[in-house]
Amino acid sequence: MSAPTIEQSYAVHRQETSPIDQFWAWFKENTDLLASFEDRGEQVVEEVETYLKAVHEDLTFELGQDDDGTFEFVISADGVRRVFPEVTKLAKCAPTIEGWRVTAFRPRRDLKVAVRFMDQELKGDHIWYAIEYDDEVPVLCLLIDGMTEENSRQMIAASFVLLDMALGEYDVATKFGVIEHYPLPPQPKENGLKPFQMLPSDVDMQFRTVLH
């Protein structure tokens, strides 16, 4: 007798439990598969999405592993704020699984990387910033070294990846009303701009002050 397909297995679960319960039941039963994401990436993505999209069609995920061997499963709304409650709800229902950590929203990451988008490469060192307020609405201005009219689309896309890494998905979507992009002017420090590496601590300090 052949093993059930993904669709058949999902149909059985669906008859018995809610989509969230189905997802975590499947997750607990398939941690070995999930841990092999580097070697079986396509299969892992297909199977996770079968259950994840049943919870909400706009949910996404990331898989990683810490230096100590702990695996991390990140539940993401891909920056779409209306989906944030779905991320929170799914993460709160996560069971405790030895060797695994479930994280709601893409977290802050090390900025010592380069992001390539099409033929453009961007590093945190290439970005400066300013935080301004327009009628009490926080505006984040990112000024990018080497950005031109011709490559602005690629540079802006790459800068959003770095911004997610700097602040995490939740803070990027909730802390600022507007995010603007400009070419970097000469002598940025003299123009009151700050290097991108200072942004996480600056945001934490500024918004803690505003809230209190």
End-to-end CA distance of the chain, in Å? Answer: 64
| pLDDT score at 112 | 85
Both 100 and 118 in a single domain? no
Both 136 and 206 in a single domain? yes
User: Region 24-48: what's the mean pLDDT?
Assistant: 94
AA identity, residue 78 = D
Question: How many CA atoms lie within 13 Å of 62's alpha carbon, on the beta-carbon side?
Answer: 14
The residue segments making up the domain with residue 48 are 6-104
Tens-digit pLDDT profile for residues 104-129: 999 999 888 889 888 889 999 999 99
The rounded percent of the chain whose pLDDT value lies above 70 is: 91
φ and ψ of 199, to 5 deg: -60, -45
Both 65 and 132 in a single domain? no
Is residue 109 assigned to a domain? no
Both 160 and 124 in a single domain? yes
Both 84 and 25 in a single domain? yes
Tens-digit pLDDT profile for residues 57-99: 999 999 999 999 999 999 999 999 999 999 999 999 999 999 9
Whether the pLDDT of residue 100 is over 80: the answer is: yes
The total domain count for the chain is 2
Whether the pLDDT of residue 212 is over 50: the answer is: no
Lowest mean pLDDT among 8-22, 25-39, 165-179: 8-22
Which of 40, 72, 104 corresponds to the end of one domain? 104
Chain-centroid distance, C-alpha 62: 8
Both 33 and 98 in a single domain? yes
